[in-house]
Amino acid sequence: MSKPQAFLARSPMPVAAAELFAWHTREGAFQRLSPPWERTEVLEQGRSLAPGTRVVVRTHVGPVPQRLVAEHTEYVEGSHFQDRQVEGPFAEWVHTHRMVPDGERQSFLEDDIAYALPLGSLGSAVAGASVEKRIRRMFAYRHALTRADLERHAAFADRPRLEVAISGASGLLGQSLAPFLTTGGHRVRRLVRESGSVGTGKVRWDPARGELDLAALEGVDAVVHLAGAPISDGRWNPARKRLILESRQGPTRVLCEGLARLATRPRVLVSASAVGYYGDGGEASLDEESPSGTDFLAGVCREWEDATAPAREAGIRVVNLRIGVVLTSGGGALAKMLPAFQAGAGGRIGSGRQWMSWISLEDLVGMVHLALMREDVSGPLNATAPAPVRQEEFARTLGRVLHRPAVAPLPAFAVKALFGEMGEALLLGGARVMPARAGQLGFPFLHPELEACLRFTLGH
């Protein structure tokens, strides 16, 4: 075995050491800290960080899946905890997490790692530099995300923690939102379509049959509704268009009618919608007061939002979150684009002049949090970054971040031939949607500019 290498990441955090430590001990912390580009899957996880408990994950060394087992070996409340690899790609890996006080309201987070690669000096010579780079990328991401999450929660530290029910918790946004909430001290119940009995923290529902376990929703403070069939999975034939509409309108109405019948109703419902509400906006700058478009997606979004009426009429505060293109390397549109751009085959689509209204996944999580916590937020809320870009600018920026050329165009006629109406609406159309309401509320964007967003989610 080669001589162990040392790595230390140290960053200031905006909360006391005790709260920083508590954040790491709560459900979802490991999932929250996993970089999206790492493709990490948790296979087994103990309920605490006490010595002897284990975390088992599947990660990747290049294209090869690798099982990693880490066992917690030290735990001092409010101060530090430690884990050691007992199975995995390293010859040695000992990771000490320290929370160092810096006065009463601030602290430092230290990640102190001693590691060694297999095959001794040969392993270090072949892979040492790339492994060190990978570790630095990972902990730069983890520290930035930890600091941002703590700042978002600290902004509402005087408010009670919430019991939040989430539909679509296994989707792109739900998988980040749930651990964000639980690490902040909130409690989450997940709406699931499982048959038979369901586990703790789950609410059974079958919107196709109009079924919802109302008893399991009693006592929730808030509901986040994210369910809906993907709009870009294949060409839009009549059956697909019907599914896109019915998977949004029907479940939303079932949920909202159920919430209205509860003896103790939730205070707020945050229901997903999309910037497709505005249709192809051309060169106009659009905000929450702008009218709806006239195309298929605009009609879907109108009916989607209208389906929340039973909750609103029952006195529940309803926020319709009009979401732009969500950017994360862990899934969605960006993940689909990456293979082509990484191969140097990316570029503008059509004229490239169409507007792209985007938002980072972390800012979308933060905007849902804002909608949950601010009682003065209701109605439409544009979930987009304040700097929309033209599609050709997006392509150039992504190419620059990846150090790849982005000069391979996809002509409009090819888009229409390959994707039909779906391609025309999603790839050739666009809208310049501004987050006017978020600006009025003083929402703190983590990634207001595209390049910084891409560098964060790609680890560059």
Give the chain's residues under pLDDT 70.
1-2, 123, 195-199
Tokens of 27: 């459900």
Rounded Cα gap, residues 26 and 30, in angstroms: 9
Q: Do both 66 and 181 map to the same domain?
A: no
Q: Do both 104 and 250 map to the same domain?
A: no
Q: Do both 36 and 86 map to the same domain?
A: yes
Q: Do both 68 and 120 map to the same domain?
A: yes
Q: Do both 296 and 212 map to the same domain?
A: yes
Rounded Cα gap, residues 59 and 199, in angstroms: 27
Residue 161: its pLDDT value, please? 95
Please state the domain count of the chain: 2
Q: Maximum Cα–Cα distance for the chain, whole Å?
A: 69
The domain of 345 spans: 163-458
Count of alpha carbons within 13 Å of 211, Cβ hemisphere only? 11
Residue 200: its pLDDT value, please? 75
Other CB atoms within 10 A of residue 257 CB: 16
Query: Hey, which residues does 189 pair with through a beta bridge?
Result: 165
Query: Do residues 89 and 119 lie in contact, with contact meaning Cβ atoms separated by under 8 Å?
Result: no
Among 125, 154, 183, where does a domain finish? 154
Place of tokens 């034939």: 237
| 46 φ, ψ (degrees, to nearest 5) | -70, 165
Tokens of 415: 């888009």
Q: Do both 453 and 316 map to the same domain?
A: yes
Tokens of 258: 């159920």
Q: Do both 148 and 193 map to the same domain?
A: no
Instruction: Report the relative pairing of strands 285-286 and 432-433 from DSSP bridges.
Output: parallel
pLDDT tens per residue, range 396-430: 999 999 999 998 898 898 888 888 888 888 888 99
Q: Do both 318 and 234 map to the same domain?
A: yes
Rounded Cα gap, residues 171 and 149, in angstroms: 20
Query: Do residues 103 and 94 lie in contact, with contact meaning Cβ atoms separated by under 8 Å?
Result: no
Sequence-distant (6+) residues with CB within 8 A of 364 are 173, 323, 326, 383
Amino acid at 180: F
Please name which of 321, 394, 406, 330 lies closest in space to residue 356, comparing C-alpha atoms. Answer: 394
Q: Do both 175 and 192 map to the same domain?
A: yes
Please name which of 189, 162, 152, 195 lies closest in space to residue 174, comparing C-alpha atoms. Answer: 189
Among 136, 154, 172, where does a domain finish? 154
Q: Do both 191 and 147 map to the same domain?
A: no
Sequence-distant (6+) residues with CB within 8 A of 450 are 358, 385, 387, 389, 393, 394, 397
Among 154, 174, 192, where does a domain finish? 154
Q: Domain containing 48 — which CATH number?
A: 3.30.530.20
Rounded Cα gap, residues 322 and 307, in angstroms: 15
Characterize 145-161 residue by residue with b for buried, 16 or more Cβ atoms within 10 angstroms of its Cβ, and e for exposed.
bbbbbbebbebbeeeee
Q: Do both 14 and 36 map to the same domain?
A: yes
pLDDT tens per residue, range 155-205: 999 999 999 999 999 999 999 999 999 999 999 999 998 765 566 789 999
Place of tokens 């140290």: 10
Q: Do both 429 and 387 map to the same domain?
A: yes
Residue 223: its pLDDT value, please? 98
Q: Domain containing 339 — which CATH number?
A: 3.40.50.720
